[in-house]
Chain A
Amino acid sequence: MFPLKLVPDNTNIPFLKYRNVAMVLSILLIVASIALCAVRGFNLGIDFVGGQTVRVHFDRAVPIDEIRSKMASLGFEDVTIQEFGSAQEIGIRTELPDGGDTAAEAAATKMRTTIEKGFPGARVTGVESVSSKVSNELFRTGAWALGVAMVGIALYIWFSFEWQFGVGALFALFHDVALTLGFFAVTQLEFDLNVVAAILTIIGYSLNDTIVVYDRIRENMRKYRKMEMVPLLNLSINETLSRTVVTSLSIGIVLTILLVLGPEVIFGFTASMLLGIVIGTFSSVYVSAAILLWLRLKPDSFVQKAAGDAERVTSRELP
């Protein structure tokens, strides 16, 4: 039994047989995610909506009601009190007060001094304030970076493979991003700039997956020119299955450990990444491969322009 083989030799799962079911499921999930995002919305952090958060460490039970009344006396009726990991570390967040660009910063200062004076033994461990102007910019540049990066990736895949692959990869990316966003809409985990980094990481992983599968499809298309698309896709996915399982599992192990032992600040981050691995693996097997069929990728797609390569591949088959 050594070395360990998680995927038995000669595995042959007819993945594409379930492609319609999988696609319906995917589309349902995407629609549900978008609907959730629209209806429920995100728990957007102050990075994107502006406002201020003051983090306080209490050396006793957190006097939540007292904090609320203190904040109300400062004019903040609507405060959110979040726990940061331990029950003694909390974040007091209020929305952007009226009064121009620097209002958030002024309010944070006021909150800070009120807490330091009003609760002996409480330590302010962090202050964050973002004005509406800055939060708008952060939102805009974040969205732009995400969008342009996706298009850039799709273009590269189009040039280096075929246009169907580019579209397929783009759709798979869209699928992953939509579902991750849906996850954030459901859980209402705080959505801040660090989460954007997490989404970028998910995109990176999922893309890796997709490209590995695509690369094998391309290789097999050159090798088995007469093979029908469905068995060819099945073969390619099965051939890369062992790799998919080992890679996803190793990353999954590390992420699980980070989730359990790691600092609270990265909890949302690791949780979404773990989910992203599952979504990404699913999308690269089902969505990105199946979509090639719908886009009518033909067995001879690589023949003409890759004639030279095809020669090389056949000759390599000789012992």
Chain B
Amino acid sequence: MLDFPRWKVWAVIVTIVVCIALSIPSFIPDNVRRTWPSWVPQPTVSLGLDLAGGSYLQLEADTKDVAASRLDAMRESVRSVMRRDPRVEIGDISVQNGQLTFMVRDPAKVDAARERLLEVTGSGAGLTGQRVWDISVVDSSRFVLKPTQAGLEEAIDTAMNDAREVVSRRINEFGTREPNVVRQGKNRIVVEVPGLKDPQALKELIGKTAKLEFKLVDTSVTPQQIQSGNVPAGSQVLSYQEGGGQIAVFRNAMITGDMLVDARQDYDPQDGTPGVAIQLDGVGSRRFAKVTQENSGKPFAIIVDNNVISAPNINEPILGGAARINGGFTVESANQLAVALRSGKLPVTLKVVEERTISAELGKDSISKGVLAGVVGTLALIFFMLITYARFGVYTTLALVVNAFMILGIMAIFNATLTLPGIAGFVLTIGAAVDANVLINERIREEQRVRNRNALASVEFGYKEASRAIFDANITNVISAVIMFAIGSGPIRGFAVVLAIGIVTSVFTGVTFTRLLVADWLKRNRPKTIQI
């Protein structure tokens, strides 16, 4: 009991000092910490949004979207690959029931067509080695392309990763501090933005698909046709706020968002209204120049997310690839569109399925009250331990305080976040730590009183006998912490993390650390009996 080897003593002391040191940066205000030299390690426990304020958004992608746009893209690929020299003549490509069908006009060219199809479907195998498309030929010349489940899942996965990228870029453009954007599950993205003032603007920004297209207006379509929706096959009806609600445009886009290199909010040189200046890349510029040359005098529509923003007339060929988007913008909305265009198109539509926004002031109030209650509670607990266990109460108290700092220190290493349920875990851990020491102290009492042991033996047996119960109690808590972490979601996980860390530190401080203190005292004073 008394002979703690020297290395053990040092190991305990060093562990405690290191953990406490690691907890210190968390108590230093941000602006002070920023002035520290960068080589000083600064692990911190960040406060969860429920405590510090901020926005938590859970976004869900419509996976049907991915399937549909994939089919659309495939239709384009098939069309262009068949058009290549020597041309394979095919009939109309129809997209129906999640599959794509077309007919090869010359049955002798079926094999050639299949060769080309394999080029665009990536020889039928995706990254995972599984087939991405099922290709079959029916009635000797009709091709049927059907995406396989594996292919679809792969596409959704890719789309989600891209979407996560785009969302991060947009939030960063938004100028918020330390946003956290992570994928969750198959088709969800979680966005956490601490200290956000206006979640509405953020949601609007994230919600924009920002699919930009320039299409020529089909002026041959009459308003009656638009009304009845009965327009030629090559045209489509889109909504157009300014020009009477709806407008007909040709389906083929002359410019798409992927030809964009830049987008900035600016002001119209003539009337000073806000708009968005865009710059096209080489391919886009050449095509824009060509189309505007050929269609001088006709209107073209600037379309964002299938809404026509404006439909100006082409007065002269537009060379150099610079264009402006006008149409009833405010500075904010123009800026938002510029950001959305700059960060690229979202490959999927994202919907907000869960939102939690807590204002910073609310969190602050909770924290100050929580800290006050925590301090008073701790003092009361210390007082109670002192009058109950005298000297051993001092050790218990020391263990509790060290324990609290150690938990914070270790959480800081893992960069864990402290949330309200985390505080619940904290309370449980402190409770368990108190209990461990009470168990030991009571056992020492008992060994001394009931079994008439001397001071040294009482302490020794006290620790030894109590350890079993402490061990069993803590193991069960570890089990539940692990299970809760594995299965539970958000708040339950926060609880589990703190619990798991706290169990380890409370056993360490409650058993090992206090034993060291007690042994030291016993060695120095050699008391006959212990007042406990």
Contact = CB atoms under 8 A, between A and B. Distances in A.
A155 to B, nearest CB: 8
Given A101-B60, A105-B352, A253 B479 contact: no
A157 B476 contact: yes
A243 B442 contact: yes
A112 interface: yes
B487 A145 contact: yes
A138 B366 CA distance: 25
Contact of B373 (A2, A144, A145, A257): A257
A246 B532 CA distance: 13
Contacts of B384: 249-250, 253
B428 interface: yes
A65 interface: no
B483 interface: yes
A101 B420 contact: no
Interface string B326-354: 00000000000000000000000001111
Nearest to B427: A201
A209 to B, nearest CB: 8
Contacts, number: 235
Interface stretch (B4-12, B34-42, B215-223, B388-396): B388-396
B432 A263 contact: no
A35 B373 CA distance: 36
Interface in A208-254: 208, 211-212, 214-216, 219, 239-240, 242-243, 246-247, 249-251, 253-254
Name the residue among B60, B369, B446 with the largest chain A CB count within 10 angstroms.
B369
A142 B492 contact: yes
A6 interface: yes
B353 A200 contact: no
Interface stretch (A25-33, A74-82, A189-197, A300-308): A189-197
A8 to B, nearest CB: 12
A126 B369 contact: no
Contacts of A57: 362
Contact of B438 (A124, A219, A239, A246): A246
B438 A253 contact: no
Majority-rule SS of B interface residues: helix
Contacts of A193: 421, 490-492
A162 interface: no
Interface string A127-171: 111110110011001101100111011001100100000000000
A68 interface: no
Majority-rule SS of A interface residues: helix
Contacts of B495: 197, 200-201
Contacts of A131: 353-354
Nearest to B472: A211
Name the residue among A108, A125, A269 with the largest chain B CB count within 10 angstroms.
A125
B439 A243 contact: yes
Interface string B445-479: 11001000000000001000100110011011101
Given A3-B531, A125-B361, A148-B487, A134 B432 contact: no
A194 B431 contact: no
A266 interface: yes
B388 A4 contact: yes
A141 B485 CA distance: 11
A204 B499 contact: yes
B209 interface: no
A149 B42 CA distance: 35
B356 A127 contact: yes
Given A153-B476, A196-B492, A127 B355 contact: yes
A201 B472 CA distance: 17
A205 interface: yes
Given A207-B476, A212-B469, A128 B356 contact: yes
A264 B362 CA distance: 11
A61 interface: no
A263 B370 contact: yes
Name the residue among B353, B362, B446 with the largest chain A CB count within 10 angstroms.
B353
Contacts of A133: 60, 353
Contacts of B461: 316
A98 interface: no
A309 to B, nearest CB: 11
A3 B393 contact: yes
Interface in A72-96: none
B489 A141 contact: yes
A43 interface: no
A266 B420 contact: yes
Nearest to A153: B476
Contacts of A251: 431, 434
Interface string B479-504: 11001100111111011000100000
Contacts of A216: 469
Contacts of A207: 473, 476-477, 480
Interface stretch (B112-120, B287-295, B374-382): B374-382
Nearest to A161: B472
A211 B492 contact: no
Interface string B184-218: 00000000000000011001000000000000000
A68 to B, nearest CB: 23
Contacts of B477: 204, 207-208
Contacts of B494: 197
B530 to A, nearest CB: 10
Contacts of A102: 351-353
A258 interface: yes
B480 A204 contact: yes
A260 B370 CA distance: 11
A5 B425 CA distance: 30
B199 A127 contact: yes
Name the residue among B384, B472, B475 with the largest chain A CB count within 10 angstroms.
B472
13 contacts: A3-B389, A3-B390, A101-B351, A142-B489, A148-B483, A194-B491, A197-B495, A200-B492, A204-B431, A204-B477, A242-B442, A263-B366, A266-B423
Given A3-B387, A160-B475, A205-B431, 6 more contacts: A130-B353, A194-B491, A197-B425, A211-B476, A215-B469, A263-B369
Interface of A: 2-6, 9, 55, 57, 101-102, 105, 108-109, 112-113, 123-131, 133-134, 137-138, 141-142, 144-145, 148-150, 152-153, 156-157, 160, 193-194, 196-198, 200-201, 203-205, 207-208, 211-212, 214-216, 219, 239-240, 242-243, 246-247, 249-251, 253-255, 257-258, 260-266, 269, 273, 316
